[in-house]
Chains A and B, each alone.
Chain A
């Protein structure tokens, strides 16, 4: 296990379709974060997990977005009824604990909604 892995790396979908992304964190990390990044902007917080518990979900996240981490290991992020405004890079990160410990990021999944 050499880092955070995200799949797929790229996804093109038609508006209205559902998409699901997967994130495999570093194995011993109990924190897992999802972010969205658009061109020229910093990563925008979406949600995070402590083991299997989802601790917070951004108010910016519509009901079309849902994330799970069923066994406290990998996580999935699903977007239902995609819209063109959902086009972005979706980043996953993991860490051992809050505060002083750094988060390690995956390469991201680039979503294009056409």
Chain B
């Protein structure tokens, strides 16, 4: 069945550091790919998405590119802020939405 694997956390970085959170997927067909974020005390919300190969999703300085050849959708940000501290979930959807286990990110001032 379909599945998502993402790097385990926690990830701790200093403010203004470069961020990469790896995500790979297994799927039959051509799913849409998502990154969701869960800030402390809040519900899950969509961060960005890509619906087909080579698409780049972007939002709030975060980017991820749908790479069909490597079945990956890595999340990147050039300069993180303390306010980016949260749990990040990679997900795919071809019918129902399947989530990875999440990566907790801590940004130190």
- Residues of A whose CB lies within 8 Å of any CB of B are 33, 35, 40-45, 48, 55-56, 91, 93, 98-100, 102-108
Number of interface residues of B (CB under 8 A): 23
Q: CB distance B100 to A33 under 8 Å?
A: no
Of all A-B residue pairs in the complex, the 7 with the closest CB atoms, nearest first, are A42-B99, A105-B44, A100-B51, A102-B46, A42-B101, A107-B43, A43-B99
User: Residue on A with the closest CB to B41?
Assistant: A107
Does B94 reach chain A (CB closer than 8 Å)? yes
Residue of B nearest to A107 (CB): B43
**Which residues on the A side are within 8 Å of B94 (C-beta)?**
98-99
Q: Decide if B49 touches A42 in the complex (CB within 8 Å).
A: no
Q: CB of B93 within 8 A of chain A?
A: yes
Bound Cα distance A108, B93 (Å): 21
Q: Does the CB pair A99–B51 fall under 8 Å?
A: yes
- One of B34, B42, B43 near A102 (C-beta < 8 A): B34
Q: B95 near A: Cβ within 8 Å?
A: yes
Cβ < 8 Å to A, chain B residues 34-66: 34, 36, 42-46, 49, 51
User: What are 12 A-B interface contacts by the 8 Å CB criterion?
Assistant: A40-B102, A41-B102, A43-B89, A43-B99, A45-B97, A45-B98, A45-B99, A56-B96, A98-B95, A99-B51, A100-B32, A107-B43
CB distance from B44 to the nearest CB of A (A): 4
* CB-CB under 8 A for A102 and B96, given A42-B101, A43-B44, A91-B44: no
Which single residue of chain A is at the shortest CB-CB distance from B99? A42
